Amino acid sequence: MDNPIVIIALVLVGLILIVGLWYIATMNTLRQLEVKVGEADSGIDVALTKRFDALSKLVNTTKGYAKHEASIFENVTKWRKGLPDSLSMEQKQEFLGKMNEVQSGINVAVENYPDLKADKVFINLQNSINEVEAHLQAARRLYNSNVSTLNQKIVTFPISFVAGNINMAKKAFFEADVAKRQDVDVAF
Amino acid sequence: MDALKPYQLKKSAAEKFVLMGGPIIILGVLIIIGLGTQNALFILGISVIAIGAILILVGSFRYTNVVKGFKKDYLPTVIKDWIDQGEYRPDFGLDQSIVYACEFLPGADRFFSEDYVRGYIEGVPFQMSDVKLQRKHTTQTKNGTQTYYVDYFVGQYYVLDFNKNFEGAVQVLESHRPESNRPFKKVKLESVAFNKTFKTYATGEHTAFYLLTPQMMERMMELEKTHSGQLGFSFIDNKMFIAIHNNHSILEVRMFRKLDDSLIESFKNDFRLLDDLVKELKLNKKIYKEI
């Protein structure tokens, strides 16, 4: 053990072992975070689908009153059977934007029909849309929070080195279009 | 406020007895210390102390009766004015099972609860009371085992019906930890300031984000700033539990402190916490508008 070469070799092996373990641990952490982002992404899909279903019922109820909105809604019915897995975050945002457009149009149209506004079925649908909207916002915030954590790690040295090696790139946030969402005040 | 007048007068009269008793006791002590070698003066000193003590006892007894009367007759009326269907019962408290239902207060060896209030705020039913929880401690001394009790929670406990349907449970705690068999996990919300002030535990992350909207977090932070003590919130089975450990009792009248409109106003302020929270919950259909 007095041989300096052996000592240097042991130190080197020790260092390589430490770096290797750190690399594996970091890689696992990044992968776990990526899984969490994926789970949160699924949460957004579920919430968007629920929002779509609720809006679909609302459009059917108000078809006679809000014809223009019903026709806009036809444009988004291609996803009637659920959101495809391949949909990018940008496309999801676009989808949500379309739904918000329909919703705000219905809100404006309904203002002219007091009977409809007082209709129990309509009120229940509005309430369920509020509930679904709340879940969608929760899913969006959870997703963005996970993305933020992952992105912060990815850009921090030396974790960025590991992220680069496993081809992990920064994830896109699910941006909320404030102007559009303010329109989606469905309380009467 | 005319209705307060009789209590103010009675309280003031009772305090006068106590105020007179104190100096008389001191006088008695001085007589004994200064001139007590002579038997007659010693007896005089003892008599003076006894008179002082009697005055203090009478004052304290009268004071207790004034406070009892104030809580029994005056406060229920004003609480009825402040709170829809408000009911105040000074000698009654929340049941232990309700207090432990928050699942973050550990079981106590001695449980006290009083000053019970219930009613509706903005149509939301609530109940609350002062709660004191004590833990038993024992030490070995040369005279044997000595038992004593230490407070680990003294403050207010609120229960509100929560008008949102949610799965699982969420706890937002300033100092406690979950005392539960549920699979609670620590959750980090997007607000760094909120995460620094509170620890959030939830059985599911989505539920935590669903219940703790940015507005709700903001409100909780405001409450933390405006209320001394440690706050704990728990959302379980469509109920919201709030525990404030502040070593303070609400609706308390203190000797030599004013019993006037400002005190009544401070009592009213104690309920403002509820009012704020309930309004926040009631407005949940709009709270996402300005995210």
pLDDT of amino acid B136: 92
Per DSSP, the three-state class of A106 is helix
d(CA B249, CA B85): 22
Structure tokens, B178: 């979950």
Q: Please indicate, yes or no, whether residues B101 and B225 belong to a single structural domain of this protein.
A: yes
Q: Note the pLDDT tens digit of each residue in A3-54.
A: 888 889 999 999 999 999 999 999 898 998 888 888 888 888 888 888 888 8
Could you give the angle at which helices A67-76 and A89-110 cross, rounded to 10 degrees? Answer: 170
d(CA A125, CA A120): 9
Q: Please indicate, yes or no, whether residues B51 and B111 belong to a single structural domain of this protein.
A: no
* Stretch B69-96: mean pLDDT: 89
Write the CA distances from B96 to A136, B91, B110, B249, integer angstroms.
37, 15, 10, 18
Residue finishing a domain among B20, B37, B71 = B71
Range of the domain at B34: 2-71
Q: Is residue B79 part of a domain?
A: no
pLDDT of amino acid A65: 67
Query: Given an 8 Å threshold on Cβ–Cβ distance, is A182 in contact with B210?
Result: no
Residue B128: its H or E element: strand B124-141
Q: Is residue B60 part of a domain?
A: yes
Query: Given an 8 Å threshold on Cβ–Cβ distance, is A176 in contact with B213?
Result: no
Tokens 């609400």 belong to which residue? Answer: B250
d(CA A21, CA A66): 62
Residue B158 has pLDDT above 80, yes or no: yes
Q: Which residue of B has its CA nearest to A181?
A: B289
Q: Please indicate, yes or no, whether residues B101 and B42 belong to a single structural domain of this protein.
A: no
Q: Note the pLDDT tens digit of each residue in B105-151.
A: 999 999 999 999 999 887 788 899 999 999 999 988 888 888 999 99
Could you give the angle at which helices A4-62 and A89-110 cross, rounded to 10 degrees? Answer: 30
Write the CA distances from A14 to A3, A9, A11, A22, A102, integer angstroms.
17, 8, 5, 12, 63
Virtual torsion, Cα A7, A8, A9, A15, nearest 10 deg = 110
pLDDT of amino acid B284: 38
pLDDT of amino acid B271: 78
pLDDT of amino acid B1: 53
Q: Note the pLDDT tens digit of each residue in B248-279.
A: 888 888 888 887 888 888 888 877 777 776 77
d(CA B203, CA B17): 58
Q: Please indicate, yes or no, whether residues B124 and B189 belong to a single structural domain of this protein.
A: yes
| Cβ contacts of A139 on chain B, cutoff 8 Å | 206, 209
* More confident site: A73 or B41: B41
Q: Is residue B291 part of a domain?
A: no
Q: Which residue of A has its CA nearest to B289?
A: A182
Query: Given an 8 Å threshold on Cβ–Cβ distance, is B213 in contact with A187?
Result: no
Q: Please indicate, yes or no, whether residues B123 and B184 belong to a single structural domain of this protein.
A: yes
Residue finishing a domain among B71, B105, B131 = B71
Q: How far is B210 from chain A (nearest CA, A)?
A: 5
* Stretch B89-100: mean pLDDT: 92
Q: Sign of the C-alpha dihedral, residues B24, B30, B36, B40?
A: negative
Pick the CATH number of A36-183 from 3.40.630.30, 3.30.70.520, 3.30.1330.10, 1.20.1440.20: 1.20.1440.20
Query: Given an 8 Å threshold on Cβ–Cβ distance, is B291 in contact with A178?
Result: yes
Query: Given an 8 Å threshold on Cβ–Cβ distance, is A148 in contact with B190?
Result: yes
Write the CA distances from B201 to A131, B68, B185, B231, B234, integer angstroms.
23, 41, 5, 14, 9
Q: Which residue of B has its CA nearest to A144?
A: B190
| Cβ contacts of A182 on chain B, cutoff 8 Å | 289-290
Q: Where are the domains of chain A?
A: 36-183
Tokens 């009083």 belong to which residue? Answer: B114
Q: Note the pLDDT tens digit of each residue in B5-25.
A: 888 888 888 888 888 888 899
Among B200, B206, B212, B287, the residue to mutate for chain A (most A Cβ within 10 A): B206
pLDDT tens sequence for chain A (188 residues): 678 888 899 999 999 999 999 999 998 989 988 888 888 888 888 888 888 888 878 777 777 666 666 666 666 556 555 566 677 778 788 778 878 877 777 777 777 777 777 777 777 887 788 878 888 888 888 888 888 888 888 888 888 888 888 888 888 888 765 444 444 444 33
Yes or no: say if B268 and B251 are a contact pair by the CB < 8 Å rule. no
Residue finishing a domain among B18, B44, B71 = B71
Does the CB of A124 have a partner CB in chain B at under 8 Å?
Answer: no
What does DSSP say about strands B84-89 and B185-187: parallel, antiparallel, or unpaired? unpaired
What does DSSP say about strands B230-236 and B124-141: parallel, antiparallel, or unpaired? unpaired
Does the CB of A165 have a partner CB in chain B at under 8 Å?
Answer: no
